[in-house]
């Protein structure tokens, strides 16, 4: 009889452990559900609108006699530096696609804005293709400058190459024309 009693106690103990294990699992799962984020009833989801400003991007016409423009939208919340970065990127992309630039490797390395709102754009060496003085390069530079000057308060723009002044067209300050 003693052996059966020990077996019965062991059996009850094992059942108790299983019940305890299942019970704690249920509590754990239900607590996890209670701490999850629930949606608030009565509040509809609204689309977040970002205020933008329209900026003109200038580029030469195919006959290289005048300048055309398109408009892009840039978030108003962007800093001047970020706006200029986006404008230059868009401008260089258009100039390459339209065949005015021979490389798409021209990259602004840094953008400096002085207290007088003059802008220095430091490019990598690929910008050297614009150093030769001709009508095409002058129109390309003018289109980039005019695009940058679309941002309010920008006065003059100067391009540098790896932190140094250029020798010909890239040695000057330009303002919107």
d(CA 78, CA 75): 6
First to last CA, the chain: 109
**Residue 131 CB partners (closer than 8 Å, separation 6+):** 137, 166, 167, 168, 169, 170
Question: With the C-alpha atoms ordered 23, 27, 33, 34, is the resulting torsion angle positive or negative?
Answer: positive
Provide the residue-wise pLDDT of the chain in tens; the chain has 177 residues. Answer: 566 777 888 888 888 888 888 888 887 777 665 444 555 555 555 667 889 999 999 999 999 888 999 999 999 999 999 999 999 999 999 999 999 999 999 999 999 999 999 999 999 999 999 998 999 999 999 999 999 999 988 999 999 999 999 889 899 999 998
d(CA 112, CA 85): 11
Q: What angle do CA 54, 59, 60 make, to 5 degrees?
A: 150
Strand partners for 58: 69
Closest Cα to residue 112, out of 157, 77, 64?
157
Cβ contact 158:68 at 8 Å: no
pLDDT at 42: 55
d(CA 174, CA 176): 7
Backbone angles phi, psi at 174, to 5 degrees: -125, 145
Q: What is the Cα Rg of the chain in Å? A: 33
d(CA 141, CA 21): 75
Q: Chain-centre distance of CA 131, in angstroms? A: 29
pLDDT at 36: 47
Global pTM value: 0.71
């Amino acid at each position: 009889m003693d052996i059966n009693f020990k077996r019965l106690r062991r059996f009850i103990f094992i059942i108790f452990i299983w019940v305890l294990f299942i019970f704690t699992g249920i509590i754990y799962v239900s607590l996890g559900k209670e701490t999850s984020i629930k949606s608030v009833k009565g509040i509809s989801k609204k689309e977040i609108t970002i205020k933008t400003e329209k900026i003109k991007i200038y580029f030469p016409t195919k006959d290289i006699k005048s300048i055309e423009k398109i408009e892009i939208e840039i978030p108003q919340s962007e800093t001047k530096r970020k706006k200029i970065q986006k404008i230059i990127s868009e401008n260089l992309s258009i100039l390459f696609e339209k065949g005015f630039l021979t490389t798409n490797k021209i990259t602004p390395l840094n953008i400096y804005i002085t207290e007088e709102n003059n802008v220095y754009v430091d490019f990598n060496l690929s910008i050297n293709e614009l150093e030769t003085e001709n009508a095409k390069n002058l129109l390309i530079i003018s289109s980039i400058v005019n695009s940058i000057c679309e941002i309010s308060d920008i006065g003059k723009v100067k391009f540098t190459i790896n932190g140094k002044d250029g020798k010909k067209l890239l040695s000057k300050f330009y303002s919107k024309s």
